[in-house]
C-alpha cells in the first residue's frame, strides 16, 4: 500500500486582522461615540421601526393565454399601489418618531455641550433617568445618552411631548397636569392615569404622527432592543482597541499592527528569525565532518566502580 504524504496546512493571511495604518481605529465608530447626524442616519436605516417595503408585482408567469395573465397582473398592480400608499404613510410616521427622538437627544445633551450649568439642564421630554450624573463638569454626548436610555426614556423621546407621557423607570402613564394651579397632580388625574395604565384607555398622540400610546411603546421596545444589540456588537468589535488603550496607550495602531503581523509570521506561519539558515551558511556546506560523541553510560560507570572495589 502506497504511503500518502499529507502536507501541513499553512493558514492564509487574513487582511482583516491587520487594518491599514492610515485608519485611526480598526473598526467603525461605536454607537456611544456617534454625533446627532450619525444617530439620525442610523435610526432612519434601522429596521426595527421602519415599515417593510411592499413586494413589487410580478409578470404573467408561464401562462400562455393572454387573458388569464392580464387579470392577475391587474390585481397585482392594484395591490402594489395600495401597499405602496400604506408604506408611504407608515414611513412618514416612523420618520416623525425619529425626528422626535433626535429633538429629545438634542434637548438632553445641549446644556452640557454648550457649557450650561446643572440648573439649566433642558431635559424637556423627560428621557434621562436618575442614573445620569448631573453637574457643571458632566458632559453627556448624544451617543452615550442613546445607549443608556430605558424603554420609558425612548418612549418619551418618540412621543415628542414636553414632560413625557410615561415614567422613565416604570413606563407607567403619567397623569396630565390640568389643574392650572400650582402644577401638582389632582386625585382625579391620578385615578385617570392609573386606569389608563391598566389598559382602560389608549390615548392618541398628535405629536407622534397620531399614533396611539400603545403603538409608540411597542416601537420603543423594539428600538431599545436594537440599540442594546448594536452596543453588544460594538463592545465585541472594540475590545482589541480598548485593550491596547488600557495596556499600552503610548503605541499607535500602526505599531500594534506591525507587532501583530510579526507574531503572525513567526508563530502561525513558523517563519521565525531565520537564524538557523544563517548559521548553516557560515559552516560552509552540508558535508561537514562531525566527530562521534564520546560518552559513558551510567550502567558502565556503576560496573567500573564495582570492579574497582572488588580489586581493592
Whether 88 has a pLDDT exceeding 50, the answer reads yes
Of these ranges, 41-55, 95-109, 117-131, the one predicted with the greatest mean pLDDT is: 95-109
pTM of the model: 0.65
Q: What pLDDT is recorded for position 38?
A: 92
Q: Can you list the alpha helix ranges (DSSP code H) found in 161-265?
A: 187-197, 213-237, 239-247, 253-263
Q: What pLDDT is recorded for position 255?
A: 85
Rounded distance, CA 52 to CA 210, Å?
A: 20
Picking from 27-36, 201-210, 224-233, 276-285, which range would have the lowest pLDDT averaged per residue? 276-285
- Are 133 and 180 a contacting pair, CB within 8 Å? no
**Secondary structure letter of residue 251 according to DSSP:** S
- Residue 134 pLDDT level (bands cut at 50, 70, 90): confident
Q: What pLDDT is recorded for position 281?
A: 66
- Residue 74 pLDDT level (bands cut at 50, 70, 90): confident
Enter the C-alpha cell of residue 99: 425626528
Q: Is 13 left (phi over 0), alpha (psi -120 to 50) or beta?
A: beta
Q: What is the largest CA-CA distance in the chain?
A: 125
What is the mean predicted confidence (pLDDT) over 202-219? 91
Kindly list the distances between the CA atom of residue 158 and the CA atoms of 94, 97, 250, in Å, as whole numbers in the listed order.
9, 5, 43
The rounded Cα 197 to chain-centroid distance in angstroms is: 33
**Mean pLDDT across the chain:** 74
Residue showing cell 389643574: 179
Task: Decide: helix, strand or coil at residue 204.
Answer: strand
- Residue 18 pLDDT level (bands cut at 50, 70, 90): very low
Q: What pLDDT is recorded for position 92?
A: 92
Cα–Cα nearest to 200, from 172, 231, 223, 219: 172
Amino acid at each position: 500500500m502506497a504511503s500518502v504524504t499529507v502536507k501541513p496546512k499553512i493558514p492564509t493571511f487574513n487582511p482583516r486582522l491587520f487594518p491599514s495604518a492610515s485608519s485611526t481605529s480598526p473598526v467603525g465608530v461605536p454607537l456611544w461615540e456617534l454625533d446627532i447626524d450619525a444617530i439620525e442616519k442610523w435610526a432612519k436605516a434601522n429596521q426595527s421601526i421602519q415599515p417593510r417595503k411592499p413586494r413589487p408585482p410580478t409578470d404573467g408567469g408561464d401562462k400562455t393565454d393572454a387573458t388569464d395573465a392580464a387579470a392577475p397582473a391587474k390585481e397585482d398592480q392594484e395591490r402594489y399601489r395600495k401597499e405602496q400608499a400604506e408604506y408611504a404613510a407608515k414611513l412618514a410616521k416612523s420618520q416623525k418618531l425619529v425626528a422626535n427622538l433626535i429633538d429629545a437627544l438634542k434637548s438632553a445633551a445641549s446644556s452640557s455641550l454648550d457649557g450650561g450649568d446643572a440648573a439649566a439642564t433642558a431635559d424637556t421630554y423627560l428621557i434621562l433617568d436618575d442614573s445620569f450624573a448631573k453637574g457643571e463638569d458632566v458632559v453627556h454626548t448624544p451617543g452615550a445618552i442613546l445607549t443608556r436610555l430605558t424603554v420609558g426614556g425612548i418612549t418619551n423621546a418618540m412621543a415628542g411631548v414636553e414632560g413625557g407621557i410615561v415614567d422613565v423607570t416604570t413606563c407607567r402613564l403619567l397623569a396630565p397636569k390640568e389643574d392650572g394651579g400650582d402644577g401638582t397632580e389632582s386625585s382625579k388625574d391620578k385615578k385617570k392615569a392609573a386606569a389608563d395604565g391598566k389598559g382602560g384607555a389608549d390615548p392618541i398622540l398628535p405629536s407622534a404622527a397620531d399614533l396611539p400610546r400603545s403603538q409608540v411603546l411597542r416601537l420603543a421596545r423594539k428600538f431599545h432592543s436594537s440599540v442594546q444589540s448594536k452596543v453588544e456588537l460594538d463592545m465585541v468589535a472594540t475590545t482589541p482597541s480598548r485593550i491596547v488603550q488600557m495596556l499600552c496607550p503610548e503605541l499607535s495602531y500602526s505599531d500594534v499592527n506591525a507587532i501583530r503581523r510579526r507574531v503572525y509570521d513567526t508563530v502561525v506561519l513558523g517563519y521565525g528569525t531565520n537564524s538557523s539558515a544563517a548559521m548553516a551558511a557560515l559552516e560552509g556546506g552540508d558535508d561537514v565532518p562531525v566527530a562521534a560523541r564520546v560518552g559513558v553510560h551510567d550502567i558502565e560507570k556503576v560496573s567500573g566502580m564495582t570492579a574497582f572495589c572488588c580489586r581493592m
